[in-house]
Amino acid sequence: MKCAYCSTEIKKGTGTMFVYNTGLIKYYCSSRCFKNDVQMKRKFNKKETKERKHETQKQKAQ
Ligand SMILES: [Zn+2]
């Protein structure tokens, strides 16, 4: 299974499981990801990371 926040692969027996009132179950690789997703209401933004990388490559090309 993968972390619901950062998509890191979670090994069996590790990580944190959280059950929502709705019955939805989410797994997190660490309590840090759990806090970020549930308490901080933040979302891991892969797109943003990609765009930043793209900008860096552009700068190198110039
Ligand atoms: Zn995680």
Domain annotation covers residue 28: yes
Give the Cα separation of 37 and 22 in Å (integer): 16
Domain of 55?
16-61
CA–centroid distance, 26 to ligand 1, in Å, is: 11
Give the Cα separation of 33 and 7 in Å (integer): 10
**Domain total of the chain:** 1
pLDDT tens readout for residues 37-50: 877 665 556 555 55
CA–centroid distance, 1 to ligand 1, in Å, is: 11
Q: At 10, is the pLDDT very low, low, confident or very high (cuts 50, 70, 90)?
A: very high
Domain annotation covers residue 31: yes
Give the Cα separation of 17 and 60 in Å (integer): 42
Domain annotation covers residue 35: yes
CA–centroid distance, 57 to ligand 1, in Å, is: 27
CA–centroid distance, 19 to ligand 1, in Å, is: 16
Please state, in angstroms and as integers, the Cα–Cα distance from residue 58 to each residue in 1, 12, 36, 45, 53, following that order: 35, 41, 31, 21, 9
Domain annotation covers residue 1: no
Q: pTM to 2 decimals?
A: 0.58
Domain annotation covers residue 24: yes
> What does the pLDDT read at residue 8?
93
